[in-house]
Structure 1
Amino acid sequence: MSTLRRFLPDNFTLCLIATVIMASVLPCRGITANAFGLLTDVAIALLFFLHGAKLSRDAVVAGLTNWRLHLTVLASTFVLFPVLGLLLKPVLSPLVTPSLYVGILFLCTLPSTVQSSIAFTSIARGNVSAAVCSASASSLLGIVITPLLTGLVLQAHGQGAMSWEAVGEIVLQLFVPFVAGQISQRWIGGWVTRHRPLIGFVDQGSILLVVYTAFSAAVLQGLWKHLPLPVLGGLLIVNAVLLAAALLITRYGSRALGFDREDEITIVFCGSKKSLASGVPMAKVLFSTHALGMIVLPIMLFHQMQLMTCAVLARRYAERASVNSRKANGVTKIAVTE
């Protein structure tokens, strides 16, 4: 039962599924859609403000000394994934529709997660302080890097360059609230830290709002008519290939670069993840409403897939560490006895 429980979706994933079903049955339109759109914009701005107020500058500065590890994680997040998305296009794109593959390429440009990267690194007994720094830096830099990288990747994909207007909207709606939160940290940082459930509520609530409005517009445009089950199966395969490639490359690449076991764990879990919390709000700003459903669907599926896979992988790392620890203790006892 414990093994089966690892593969079951969490409560938030169930809420995402329920939101998609609700948007399919009762899509919002007209004045209601405009009201939901305005509410979503406010929720996204509040989300990034609270994340700015929560992020500890001391923790980031303390972890900056391990620069080789952080550069490796950032290279995996913002270089390896986009390269994989473009190089594997001839093999993977026939499995999905063109608009879904645009969503895959956008997925490849996203920053790493913060909470789950740190949590899995801790479970696997990796370098937690470095994970805090790497995941936080990835999330912060992604506000600027992701829209620019999306433009370059889509241009290479033949979709045309991302407009500077879209980049400006990202800065205005995401980066400015984040900076405002950082400035306000000295006054409200303690309060935000004590009320972490508030951030979780705003975090998940803003994502559910974007998903509802995005899928409502997509359903009204005939989403499910253009998305048969074989295409959904193809999307799962594409996501699985990208995740497996990232996990393997970060694992064996970190060993080839001479990192120890704890740093390897940090690189694997921080360098193979993509952030749903950052990706969905950014997609809303960067892409037109009618295309948004197809753009966020790969991110939603990848999110659940990475959680299930990394949960199992983190347990295996932890079990291996326990075995190694027992062996080391046994050797020490024998040496003391002799």
Structure 2
Amino acid sequence: MKFKIDKFILSIIGVILIAYFFPNWATEDSKAPLNTISSIGISLIFFFYGLKLNPTELKSGLKNWKLHILVQGATFLMFPLLVLFFRPIIQNEEQETIWLAFFFLAALPSTVSSSVVMVSIAKGSIPSAIFNASISGIIGILITPLWMGLFINNPQTDFNFTNIYIKLILQIIFPVVLGLLLQRFLGKFAHKHSSKLTLFDKSIILLIIYKSFAESFINGVFNAVSILDLLAIFIGVITLFLIAFSLTGFLSKKLNFNNEDKITAQFCGTKKSLVHGTVFSKILFKGMSSIGIMLLPLMLFHATQILIISIVASKLAKEKNIN
């Protein structure tokens, strides 16, 4: 069985290297208006997201309420509780930062595109996957800041819920609603050019990742992170994913889900959105010098989830074709 390395993951690695060697492009003295470009780009990402949401498919997905509760419960309760379990063992400020980065990962919504694609490959319930992945992003706009507000206590960060939700409304909710309102007129156009819009989404994400890591490199944040720390983060990411994947599978059996719903629960309930993560980090951690570390577990998780779920989806698809 051959697996190609995801080009987007390679792009992320490339962008981090560029940030390391050329961090000055992200400084305030730079002529490149990265803040303006990324802010406009974020709004456009979610405008296009609204255009691509199909109200009919979302309505049809509402029926399977047990599956929806499991997926959203796994995304917004199980993940944070798993990470919370390890908070008592924190011994210093460096560990606190790494733990907070994991908690940020755990509090994020599920990703839309890869969830639906992988469910489709594995022959799961596509309407339920579309509903859960889409509604997860909307729920996350409300829930993720609430979770993070419990633990962020940084004088560099103005964690004011009013200001944060105003930013989220202007940059995310308003563009999504506008996209939904225009869906009947521009929906076909959005789906026709879906690949180009995805390329645009990824370009903005790469820009935000570059800026986040460049600022962290300039401030010397990663000087305190050793190879052993990076290895521990990677092991932690894999462990978190495997525990979540096993628990959603176990609960699916207990709820007597058919195979299609079990696949959907495991694939949608264990994903975390890099799009929302990079966007939220720009708003939630504005002013924090350690923003690069905040994104590190998420990016490793993104690579891990794509690799493992791709293997599982391919295996399930082969088994179904044989049967």
Calculate the TM-score normalised by the size of structure 1: 0.88
The one-letter amino acid paired with 2:122 is A
Q: 1:73 to 1:188 in 2, by over 3 A?
A: same
What residue number does 1:294 align with?
A: 293
* Uncovered stretches (5+) of structure 1, i.e. residues with no partner: 326-338
Bigger proportion of residues as helix = 1
Report Cα offsets for 1:168-196 as digits up to 9, x if no partner: 22222111111111112122112111111
Output aligned runs, 1:107-186, within 5 Å.
107-152=105-150, 154=151, 162-164=159-161, 165-186=163-184
Indicate conservation of the 8 Å contact 2:221/2:290, yes or no: no
- Report the alpha carbon displacement of residue 91 of structure 1 after superposing the two structures with TM: 5.7
Give the direction of change, closer, same or farther, for the CA distance of 1:134–1:273 in structure 2 (3 Å limit). same
TM-score, length-normalised on structure 2? Answer: 0.92
Q: For 1:194 and 1:67, how far apart are their aligned partners in 2? A: 31
**CA pair 249-190 structure 1, distance change in 2 beyond 3 A:** same
Report the 3-state secondary structure (helix = DSSP H, G, I; strand = E; otherwise coil) of the residue aligned with 2:173: helix
Correspondence 1:272 to 2:257: no
Aligned to 1:305: 304
* Structure 1 position 226 matched with structure 2 position 224: yes
Structure 1: which amino acid aligns with 2:16? V
Amino acid at match of 2:145: P
Further displaced range: 224-233 or 303-312: 224-233
Whole-angstrom distance in 2 between the partners of 1:195 and 1:33: 32
- Classify the secondary structure of the residue corresponding to 1:178: helix
Give the drift of 1:277. Answer: 1.2
Indicate if the aligned counterparts of 2:44 and 2:175 stay in contact, CA closer than 8 A.
Answer: yes
Aligned match for 1:22, one of 18, 29, 32: 18
- Give 3-state SS (helix, strand or coil) of 2:290's partner: helix
What residue number does 2:104 align with? Answer: 106
- What is the distance in 2 between the residues matched to 1:93 and 1:127? 44
Secondary structure of the equivalent of 1:97?
Answer: helix
Are the counterparts in 2 of residues 106 and 150 from structure 1 also a CA contact under 8 Å? yes
Distance in 2 (CA, whole Å) between partners of 1:274 and 1:93 is: 27
Question: Amino acid of the residue matched to residue 160 of structure 2?
Answer: S
Q: Distance in 2 between matches of 1:161 and 1:244?
A: 35
CA distance in 2, matches of 1:223, 1:114: 32
Match of 2:314 in 1: 315
Corresponding letter in the other structure for 1:272 = T
Q: What code does the residue aligned with 1:59 have?
A: E
Aligned-pair distance for 1:247? 0.3
The residue correspondences of 1:68-107 to structure 2 (distance < 5 A) are 68-90=66-88, 97-107=95-105
Correspondence 1:222-261 to 2 at 5 A:
222-261=220-259
1:37 to 35, 38, 41: 35
- Cα distance between partner residues in 1 of 2:265 and 2:68: 8
How many percent identity over aligned positions?
32
Aligned equivalents of 1:311, 1:198: Cα separation in 2: 23
| Alpha-carbon contact 1:144-1:171 (below 8 Å) kept | no
CA contact (8 A) 2:120 2:126 kept: yes
Structure 1 counterpart SS, 2:30? helix
Tell me the secondary structure at the aligned position of residue 206 of structure 2: helix
Partner-residue secondary structure (3-state), 1:236 = helix
Query: Superposition RMSD on alpha carbons, in Å?
Result: 2.3
Q: Which amino acid aligns with 1:212?
A: Y
Q: Residue 222 of structure 2 contacts residue 293 of structure 2 at CA under 8 Å; is this kept in 1?
A: no
Distance 1:254 1:135 in 2: 17
Aligned amino acid, residue 249 of structure 2 = R
Which of the pair has more CA radius of gyration? 1
Q: Which amino acid aligns with 1:26?
A: F
